[in-house]
Structure 1
Amino acid sequence: MDNNQFNNNEPNNEPNQQPSQRPVRPVNNGNGQPPRQRRGGGLWKIAVVALVSALIGGGVAYAGFSHQISNQASDTTVSSSSEPGTTQVSNVTMKNSTSMSKAFSKNKNAVVSVVNLQKQSNTDSSDPFAGLFGDDDDSKSSSSKGSLEEYGEGSGVIYANQNGKGYIVTNYHVVEGSDSLQVILSDGTKVSAKKVGTDEVSDLAVLTIDSKYVKGTATFGNSDALTPGEPVIAIGSPLGSEYATSVTQGIISAKSRTVDTTNSSGQTTGQATVIQTDAAINPGNSGGPLVNAEAQVVGINSMKLAQSNDGTTVEGMGFAIPSNEVVKIINQLVKNGKVVRPALGVRVIDLSTVDNSRIRSQLKIPDSLTEGVVIGSVDKNTPASNAGLKAYDVITALNGKAVNSVAQLHTALYNFNVGDKVTVTYYRGSSKQTASVTLSETQSQVEKNNSSSSSSSSRG
């Protein structure tokens, strides 16, 4: 078997790559530009017809709705006249405010726009020979001293104001690759922000701003208590800060969906359990809160499904990271600057991706075994080496739960803590065996940086 297949490292808790692309697409940073409207004579005709239709429909709707609001409205004046040009606006003032509008009001000052600023090279793009013969010292210096420009925007929510700092949670992919960060408050004030910690696996990041700029903080609710069908609102900056503090309403479509996640190279890194909602989540909403009727943040908006695997266009399928998971991750980020996760200390690849001839000649596994994770190499002084695992062993289960892919292996490992003992089921040739393994911390970011990113293998 070609060991080059295994020269990639596992995804870990200190990412440094460019924005992720996931099978379930993250709501990537928007450019803040609204779509252009078409011009033409036909548009006016369509608008007139639409207006007439809306007025007719509105009259029908009011007839059915008037009874419902009759006990909630103050003095109402409706002008009726047969004389043209004397129509007046009805003065209807609602006395009540819905729970969702109250939830929005309570959180709006805690929701911010997050601007990702990156250095841009000052190399003259009009020079046809620029970069043709590689970077010289001048061009490298120019790149390192390049001006900061807006790379993208997302959303965030202030959840704490402590020790002179306001703490903001947002998505990892919103701040990924940034050289500097800027936060735009609900009143339009722009302030600098600092990274406290980021975690690619959960797609979460924590930032801080000076506490004097904090206008409000949000409270986390219990995402485990959510019920499908209950109303929620999503608050954020769709298409950028031009539409900051926009609110959309929907329901909890499902409280526990499992979706695949990938890293910046498109490699599947694991699976995430997320909340599904039909509240509109658009580019720029990433990192904003999903709020329940009690004005509690029950999720952090992270991704949307725009197209199914067969190419079918999908609407109304957004996903948020559950608040219980968010709290667990951000507490670790604040304390440690990273999230500590367990690992075996092996380089692995999906059995299904290995060439059949190599499977039979080198792995010598049973013909019936078609799914699992092949160990390409075992690092020294790791849980795997201490337990006696070797290259070409095929892992099929962890604590009795089937492991059919690298993604499933990562997901299974992340359910344990450093120091936990787990039972690994594996095949060595045609012999099915088990090993007791005491898990250790994931490999360092330095080791990951020194590895090739072109291979399809991963570390586990």
Structure 2
Amino acid sequence: MNRIKQAFKDRLWLGVIIVGLFAGLIGGGIALGINNLVQHHEEVTSTRVPAGSNKSGGTKVNKNKADLNGEASQAYKSVQGAVVSVINKQKVQQSSGTLGIFGYGSSNGSNNDSSSDNKLETASEGSGVIYKKSGNSAYVVTNNHVVKGSNALQVILSNGKKVNADLVGADSATDLAVLKINATNVKTVASFGNSNSIVPGQDVLAIGSPMGSEYANTVTKGIISAKDRTLKAGTDGTLTSVIQTDAAINSGNSGGPLINMAGQVIGINSMKLASDTQGSSVEGIGFAIPSNEVVTIINQLIKNGKITRPSLGISMVDLSNVTSDQQQSVLKLPTSVSKGVVIMDVNSGSVADTAGLKKYDVITKLGDTQVTDAGSLKAALYKYKVGQNAKVTYYRDGQQHTATLHLTKSADTTSTDDSQQDNN
């Protein structure tokens, strides 16, 4: 009897539990369904475009709260008037005849009466900056590659006035040139700051005419990315120290100023890094010639119209272009020597000839500078002036030697040799 009662109680409690579970599930489902309905209603209501008039959708222009006379704006204003566009004009052959079925002929139909004349047309455009005004003359610094090959030069001032320009002098090694213009319409000149005092992270502005004079006086802002980057500059591949910046520099900016936030020119924009890899691009890597170097070159160009530097009187090739077999069999170099320049010819009576250097000597050091290739040799040599002495270290038949170079000979570095064999 007790067992029957206990079994009945157990079944009763089990029923209560099952009923409770079902009730909970049903109640939860109802609650969840109601909650979903509420959320759906709110979503539909919040995303539906309201009906009614659109008159309340108007707005207004508020007072500009930005600082219009910030540091960058003031720096730009102080220099902008001195920045110019430089126009390189070159001769283009043109026929004076009319174009017929078989080419050019004269207007009267005679094929023997054709003639041609030379007409100047714009070959390229770049930028420049006016740094000096003296009497009726003003002077502009720009890049050598901007004016190279020109038959005539013009400068477009910041006010749009176009004036003729004369080339005072140019230097291919540093890629700099100086122009002279009439100063009548010149109101602003720029000043140079000390490029030795710049630091990475410092704010700078680049001003110029990217893509030509149509975009004259374009200003871009960036920072100094590196103050002393070594690159091959000019057409002769001479190694030079340049300022790296991420301020946007494009074709046409060449020759324009890179300025600090005080409005001082700390560099002349010269080039940007481009990728040789198809399909890739490089942004934010531009270079400028440091102002201290610019001033040195300007003063020599003003004085002499050209830059005269020491010359060794040799032709040479980079040691890296000589096979390892030839380095051992012909040059007889120790395996520890892997960089330098090989003398291929020595001009009679030259500085190198006087010092006793000969064909197949391998130069590895000039002064305190290690020579790794022709560019580094030129960079080391150009630190000396004509008349000074320099110690050269070289290998001959596997033995290291030193000699003193009396730098009495000079070369005008505006002329270059683009052949495989470098001359100096």
Q: What TM-score, normalized by structure 1, do the two folds share?
A: 0.73
CA deviations on 1:331-362 (whole Å, 9 max, x unpaired) are 10111001121121111111221345544443
* 2:126 aligned to which of 150, 154, 162: 154
- The residue correspondences of 1:287-302 to structure 2 (distance < 5 A) are 287-302=255-270
8 Å CA contact retained: 1:400, 1:425:
no
**Does 1:221 find its partner at 2:185?**
no
- Rounded Cα–Cα distance in structure 2 between residues aligned with 1:97 and 1:325: 31
**Does 1:330 find its partner at 2:298?**
yes
**Does 1:256 find its partner at 2:228?**
yes
CA deviations on 1:191-245 (whole Å, 9 max, x unpaired) are 1000000011101000010111212100101111112111111111111111111
Task: Name the structure 2 match of 1:376.
Answer: 344
Change (3 A) 1:127 1:288: farther
Secondary structure of the residue aligned to 1:389 is: coil
**Does 1:202 find its partner at 2:170?**
no
**Does 1:389 find its partner at 2:360?**
no
**Structure of higher RCO (CA pairs closer than 8 Å, 6+ residues apart):** 1
Change (3 A) 1:353 1:309: farther
Change (3 A) 1:299 1:342: same
Q: Give 1:99 shift.
A: 1.3
Q: Which piece of structure 1 moves more, 194-203 or 271-280?
A: 271-280
Task: Name the structure 2 match of 1:278.
Answer: 246
- Rounded Cα–Cα distance in structure 1 between residues aligned with 2:103 and 2:391: 58
Q: Give 1:365 shift.
A: 2.9
- Rounded Cα–Cα distance in structure 2 between residues aligned with 1:380 and 1:309: 44
Change (3 A) 1:95 1:399: closer
8 Å CA contact retained: 2:174, 2:233:
no
Change (3 A) 1:425 1:187: same
- The residue correspondences of 1:236-251 to structure 2 (distance < 5 A) are 236-251=208-223
8 Å CA contact retained: 1:344, 1:440:
no
- Rounded Cα–Cα distance in structure 2 between residues aligned with 1:337 and 1:362: 43
- Rounded Cα–Cα distance in structure 1 between residues aligned with 2:340 and 2:102: 50
Q: Give 1:115 shift.
A: 0.5
- Rounded Cα–Cα distance in structure 2 between residues aligned with 1:364 and 1:165: 59
Secondary structure of the residue aligned to 2:411 is: coil
- Rounded Cα–Cα distance in structure 1 between residues aligned with 2:211 and 2:368: 46
**Does 1:232 find its partner at 2:223?**
no
- The residue correspondences of 1:355-366 to structure 2 (distance < 5 A) are 355-356=323-324, 358-366=326-334
Larger radius of gyration: 2
Secondary structure of the residue aligned to 1:331 is: helix
Task: Name the structure 2 match of 1:7.
Answer: none
Q: Which piece of structure 1 moves more, 309-318 or 149-158?
A: 309-318
- Rounded Cα–Cα distance in structure 2 between residues aligned with 1:257 and 1:182: 32
Amino acid at match of 1:325: E
Q: Give 1:96 shift.
A: 5.3
- Rounded Cα–Cα distance in structure 2 between residues aligned with 1:431 and 1:315: 47
- The residue correspondences of 1:368-447 to structure 2 (distance < 5 A) are 368-444=336-412
- Rounded Cα–Cα distance in structure 2 between residues aligned with 1:129 and 1:200: 40
* 1:354 aligned to which of 312, 322, 331: 322
Amino acid at match of 1:457: Q
The total of aligned residue pairs comes to: 362
Q: Give 1:438 shift.
A: 1.2
Q: Which piece of structure 1 moves more, 174-183 or 436-445?
A: 436-445
Q: Give 1:290 shift.
A: 0.7
Task: Name the structure 2 match of 1:87.
Answer: 59
Secondary structure of the residue aligned to 1:159 is: strand
- Rounded Cα–Cα distance in structure 1 between residues aligned with 2:279 and 2:408: 41
CA deviations on 1:13-36 (whole Å, 9 max, x unpaired) are xxxxxxxxxxxxxxxxxxxxxxxx
8 Å CA contact retained: 2:306, 2:412:
no
- Rounded Cα–Cα distance in structure 1 between residues aligned with 2:90 and 2:73: 36
More strand by share: 2
Task: Name the structure 1 match of 2:83.
Answer: 111
* Percent identity (aligned): 50
* 2:69 aligned to which of 87, 90, 97: 97
- Rounded Cα–Cα distance in structure 2 between residues aligned with 1:226 and 1:444: 31
CA deviations on 1:413-447 (whole Å, 9 max, x unpaired) are 1111112211111111122111111113433579x
Task: Name the structure 2 match of 1:303.
Answer: 271
Amino acid at match of 2:356: G
CA deviations on 1:61-85 (whole Å, 9 max, x unpaired) are xxxxxxxxxxxxxxxxxxxx98434
Change (3 A) 1:445 1:314: closer
Q: Which runs of 5+ in 2 are unaligned?
A: 1-52, 105-112
Change (3 A) 1:208 1:126: farther
Q: Which runs of 5+ in 1 are unaligned?
A: 1-80, 131-137
- Rounded Cα–Cα distance in structure 1 between residues aligned with 2:65 and 2:336: 72
Secondary structure of the residue aligned to 2:299 is: helix
CA root-mean-square deviation? 2.7
Q: Which piece of structure 1 moves more, 302-311 or 225-234?
A: 302-311
Change (3 A) 1:386 1:309: farther
- Rounded Cα–Cα distance in structure 2 between residues aligned with 1:416 and 1:443: 13
